[in-house]
Structures are given as structure tokens and as C-alpha cells.
């Protein structure tokens, strides 16, 4: 029989006292309802006035709701090059669109550079071409030809940072620093020029044309949302292939049979979600931005618009950042929810806590190198410890990873990691429930309907404890459905719209 890792002590030890003090410092004093009320006010404020969050996409997704099979048949191309620019990796995929959506080729490139300038993107595109150059004809032989000699390769890009209606990068979190030369430029046009430049430098421009069409740079949460919506409209379509296993049938079935609002969520290096609002609910300025960006595609009041919440910016009025949290540069725009919930930052909260309370830290850990020891994987192991079996497994893995032969007591570390996850989960749940209420117009009793949320992100995908806390704090209303590779599929779907 297993025993709980969370026990009460009548005579608390110094370690237990330190753990308790940290919990008092980190967890909010108010109730979930109070946090929800604050989040609702901030969501409305950002909807009406912010240029950083609650951003409407100019993608017209009407075709996804017409319930016909036109989307399943390519009108121009059978193969699409999809690129997912995430927080730590770049994924490149060749996606076949007929007779079903599936991945023919997938390659991942680690992104180590954090200073973002023109050379940054040149290096990425060069690396991609190096990987695929000898296979272009094999991949795209059935695509269109330009003037009967140049193979046309449509490029759809999922970009994990906020872009406004002019395709300008508004900010970059996740540890990236944006250079002045990339600010205030049309990022779509810039990437097209960069593709052309690299292709000419590699003397392949007379054989292949990479084309980034209008609106085919989309936010990562919008990409997930397109996949989520596609599944609900076409439940019989499979995303699964033997060579590149992707969205399993069980996930597709869950979303296809779900009722109510669709919310798509990301919790990995960053924190974000997308959802839909009727066009008439947008403020006049944001309606005008969409109409300017889609001059040939009119939006009526009843059309739904995909909203990129950029929810990492939420929490200015209710999240109390502590000395243990990330301290952003004075020049950056604060992202409170992302700092306390995302995989980029939560291991650092534990590191800072251990530096303040060294009594919690096992003596065999080198405290001067804690940020290397408490990485995302180790943090996840600590938070997932549930019973003596998990404790033994995590202890064995960490000892092996760092060459530790002596005894190692991880219980206090696990308790603090759980507190950090609980804190993040509470604010995430408050945000998601209020987004659902905003979409619904509070028409349904808030305690009755389940919210099936399609999500991606390694932080949440690999942390059962995080998933459990989100379900628990939502009183079972939030049901998380993992959508592997949905950022890539969403990029391809944007081409079909």
C-alpha cells in the first residue's frame, strides 16, 4: 500500500517550517472566485484596449464550419511545408493534404541562440534547407510548377510570439531578445525576403520557390485551435500515420463528440490560448484592423473570429510576483501569468526558493549550479512524485543523472515543486474558466458544462500532477485533450482555408 507524500507533523522540523513559509509566500491569499473576477475584468480591458493580447486573427475560418469536404481536397497543392517556430525548437514538416492530412516528413532543430536579428532567421532557414535540399523533388513532385520549370512550395508558419494585424512582432518572451532591426517591420514580408535570399545563395532559386502567402504566419495557439476545430468538423479524418504518429484517434473522438465552446491551450515554454468570439463583440478598432487586413474577405457581425489571447500577459491585478519569481528587464512588457505557470520560468522559482532556504536543498546538490540541476525535466520529476514508488523512481533517476551515490531525500523539494505547480494551475484555471464564460456570455450555469480543451506543450504533457491540479481546481470541468503536432497541422490547415 502506498502512502501519501504530503503528511502533517505535530512538531514541525526546520525543513517543514521553511516549506510552509514558501507556500505562504507563493500561494494567493484570495479565493479562486476572487482571482476569476479579477481575470474577467482584465480580459475585458485587454479585449477593448490592448494591442498586446486579446488579438483577433484575420484568418477567415468560415470554410471550417460549412461541413463539406472541400477542405479535404487541395485546390492548389498536395504537399505543404509547415514550420513550427517554438520556444526552444524549430519543427519542419512536409504535410500531405490528400486524401487526408498526415505528416510525410518531420525534422526538429534545437534553437540555442536567443538574440533575434536578421542573421538569426537566415541561419534557421539555411539549416532547414541543408536538411531537406536533396529531398525536395521527392517531397514536392506533385506540387504546382511556375512557368513549367520552378516547383512551387507553399510555406505555412506557426510562430510562437505575438504578431499584430500588420504582422509586426509586438514582443518576445521565453528568454529571447528582439533586435531593433526586427522591430516594427512586416514579419511576413521579411521572412519571404529571407527565404528568397537563402535560396539564391544556395543556387536553388531556379528550381524551387518557397512562397509564404498572405495570412500564413499564424500564432501557435491559433494553429492548435485550427486543428481543434478541424477535428470537430471532420471527426472521421485521421492524423495518424505509421511513420509519424500524431493525434491519436482517442483524442480526435473526444473533441469531435464534445459540446460547447472550443478553447485551445498551450502550456510549454510559454502560456497561451485561443478561442472564438463573434465579430460584433470586438471593439471598433480591432474590427477595423481585421477589415483592413482582409479587404477581399468581408466579415459580418455573426462571423466568428479566432482570438489569440496571449494569456501570458494576464494577471497584472491579481498575481503577486515574489522575490522567488523571474524579474524581467525594465524594458520588457510584464507577463505575470507566464512567469508563474510556464515551463520556461517555474524551475527558476524553485531554484530561487532553494537559494533563499538552503535547508531544503539536499547537501549533495551544488547550490552554485542549481539552475543547471533543476532543469525542466528534473522539476517535472519532483512535482510528479505522488507516493513511495514515485519517490524511489525519481531519486534513482536524479542520482544516476548527476552521479550521486549517497542517500538523497527529495521529499521537501517535491513539496515546494508541487506548491509552484498548484499556484500556476490556480491562475491558469481562473483564466480558462473566465475565457469560457466570456465566449458563452454567461448563458449557462457555470458549474454544469464540461470544457474539453485541446492542448499542446511539453510542460503540461509530461506533468501528470499539473494536469491533475487543473482538473481538480476547475472542479472537474476542464478536460485536457493532448493534440500532438497540432501546431504543424494548424499551419497546414491555414493554407486550406
Residue 102 lies in a domain: yes
396 HSE (CA, 13 A, CB side):
6
Predicted confidence at residue 4, as pLDDT, reads: 46
112-138: buried (b, 16+ CB within 10 Å) or exposed (e) per residue?
eeeebeeebbeebbbbbbeebeeebee
Q: Are 207 and 89 in contact (CB under 8 A)?
A: no
| Residue 56 belongs to some domain of the structure | no
What span, in angstroms and rounded, lies between the C-alpha atoms of 31 and 309? 23
- pLDDT on residue 73: 53
Instruction: Look at residue 70 in the predicted model and tell me its pLDDT.
Output: 59
Note whether residue 117 is domain-resident.
yes
- The single-letter DSSP state of residue 169 is B
Asked, for residue 252, whether it belongs to a domain, the answer is: no
What residue numbers bound the domain in which 141 lies?
Answer: 70-233+489-496
Contact, 222 vs 490, CB < 8 A?
A: yes
**What is the rounded distance in angstroms from the CA atom of residue 437 to the CA atom of residue 451?**
11
Q: Peptide bond preceding 112: is omega within 30 degrees of 0, i.e. cis?
A: no
pLDDT at residue 10, rounded to an integer: 67
CATH of the domain at 107: 3.30.420.40
Residues contacting residue 487 through CB under 8 Å, at least 6 positions apart:
84, 86, 91, 158, 220, 223, 224, 456
Q: What pLDDT score does 319 carry? A: 95
Q: What is the pLDDT of residue 9?
A: 56
Determine the distance from the C-alpha atom of residue 314 to the mean position of all C-alpha atoms in its chain, rounded to a whole number: 15
Whole-prediction pTM: 0.84
Residue 183, in any domain of the structure = yes
3-state secondary structure 374-443: CCHHHHHHHHHCCCHHHHHHHHHHHHHHHCCCCCCCCHHHHHHHHHHHHHHHHHHHHHHHHHHHHHHCCC
φ, ψ for residue 372, nearest 5 deg? -85, -30
- Report helix, strand and coil shares of the chain as percent, to nearest 5: 45, 15, 40
- pLDDT of 120: 84
Q: What is the DSSP string of 259-272?
A: -S--EEEEESSSEE
Q: Which residues pair with 456 in a beta bridge?
A: 266
**b/e per residue 413-449 (b: at least 16 CB within 10 A):** bbbbbbbbbbbbbbbbbbbbbbbbbbbeeeeeeeeee
Residue ranges in the chain whose pLDDT is less than 70: 1-10, 62-63, 65-77, 87, 142-148, 162, 164-165, 170-175, 214-216, 235-245, 260, 293-299, 301, 364, 366-368, 442-448
What is the structure's pLDDT at 7?
A: 47
Cα–Cα distance for residue pair 483/191, rounded to 1 Å:
27
Q: How many domains does the chain have?
A: 1
Asked if residue 121 belongs to a domain, the reply is yes
Residue 246 lies in a domain: no
- The answer to whether residue 453 is domain-embedded is no
Q: Which whole-number Å values give the CA distances from 160 to 109, 266, 387, 403, in the listed order?
A: 15, 10, 36, 36
pLDDT at site 395: 92
Distance CA 471, CA 480 (A): 8
Amino acid at each position: 500500500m502506498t502512502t501519501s507524500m504530503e503528511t502533517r507533523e505535530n512538531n514541525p522540523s526546520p525543513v517543514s517550517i521553511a516549506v510552509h513559509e514558501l507556500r505562504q509566500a507563493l500561494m494567493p491569499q484570495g479565493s479562486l472566485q476572487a482571482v476569476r473576477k479579477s481575470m474577467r475584468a482584465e480580459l475585458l480591458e485587454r479585449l477593448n484596449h490592448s494591442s498586446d493580447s486579446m488579438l483577433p486573427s484575420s484568418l477567415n475560418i468560415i470554410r471550417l464550419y460549412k461541413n463539406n469536404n472541400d477542405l479535404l481536397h487541395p485546390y492548389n497543392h498536395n504537399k505543404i511545408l509547415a514550420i513550427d517556430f517554438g520556444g526552444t525548437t524549430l519543427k519542419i514538416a512536409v504535410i500531405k493534404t490528400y486524401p487526408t492530412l498526415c505528416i510525410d516528413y518531420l525534422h526538429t532543430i534545437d534553437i540555442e541562440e536567443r538574440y533575434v536579428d536578421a542573421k538569426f532567421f537566415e541561419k534557421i532557414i539555411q539549416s532547414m534547407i541543408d536538411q531537406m535540399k536533396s529531398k525536395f523533388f521527392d517531397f514536392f513532385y506533385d506540387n504546382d510548377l511556375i512557368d513549367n520549370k520552378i516547383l512551387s512550395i507553399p510555406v505555412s508558419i506557426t510562430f510562437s510570439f505575438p504578431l499584430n494585424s500588420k504582422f509586426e512582432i509586438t514582443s518576445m518572451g521565453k528568454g529571447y531578445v528582439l533586435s531593433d532591426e526586427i522591430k516594427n517591420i512586416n514579419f511576413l514580408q521579411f521572412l519571404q525576403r529571407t527565404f528568397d535570399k537563402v535560396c539564391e545563395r544556395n543556387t536553388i532559386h531556379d528550381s524551387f520557390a518557397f512562397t509564404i502567402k498572405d495570412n500564413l504566419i499564424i500564432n501557435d495557439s491559433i494553429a492548435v485551435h485550427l486543428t481543434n476545430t478541424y477535428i470537430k468538423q471532420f471527426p472521421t479524418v485521421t492524423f495518424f500515420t505509421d511513420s509519424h504518429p500524431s493525434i491519436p484517434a482517442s483524442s480526435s473522438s473526444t473533441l469531435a463528440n464534445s459540446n460547447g465552446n472550443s478553447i485551445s491551450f498551450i502550456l510549454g515554454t510559454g502560456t497561451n490560448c485561443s478561442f472564438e468570439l463573434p465579430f460584433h463583440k470586438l471593439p471598433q478598432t480591432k474590427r477595423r484592423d481585421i477589415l483592413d487586413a482582409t479587404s477581399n474577405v468581408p466579415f459580418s457581425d455573426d462571423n466568428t473570429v479566432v482570438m489569440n489571447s496571449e494569456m501570458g500577459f494576464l494577471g497584472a491585478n491579481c498575481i503577486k510576483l515574489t522575490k522567488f519569481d523571474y524579474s524581467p528587464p525594465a524594458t520588457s512588457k510584464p507577463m505575470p501569468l507566464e512567469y508563474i505557470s510556464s515551463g520556461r520560468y517555474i524551475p527558476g522559482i524553485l531554484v530561487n526558493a532553494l537559494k533563499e532556504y538552503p535547508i531544503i536543498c539536499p547537501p549533495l546538490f551544488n547550490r552554485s549550479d542549481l539552475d543547471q540541476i533543476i532543469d525542466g525535466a528534473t522539476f517535472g520529476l519532483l512535482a510528479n512524485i505522488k507516493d513511495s514508488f514515485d519517490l524511489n523512481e525519481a531519486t534513482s533517476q536524479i542520482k544516476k543523472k548527476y552521479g550521486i551515490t549517497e542517500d538523497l531525500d527529495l521529499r521537501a523539494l517535491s513539496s515546494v515543486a508541487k506548491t509552484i505547480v498548484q499556484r500556476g494551475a490556480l491562475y491558469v484555471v481562473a483564466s480558462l474558466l473566465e475565457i469560457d464564460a466570456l465566449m458563452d456570455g454567461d448563458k449557462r450555469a457555470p458549474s454544469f458544462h464540461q470544457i474539453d480543451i485541446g492542448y499542446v506543450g511539453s510542460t503540461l504533457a509530461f506533468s501528470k500532477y499539473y494536469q491533475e491540479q487543473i482538473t481538480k481546481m476547475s472542479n472537474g470541468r476542464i478536460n485536457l485533450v493532448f493534440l500532438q503536432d497540432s501546431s504543424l497541422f494548424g499551419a497546414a490547415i491555414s493554407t486550406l482555408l
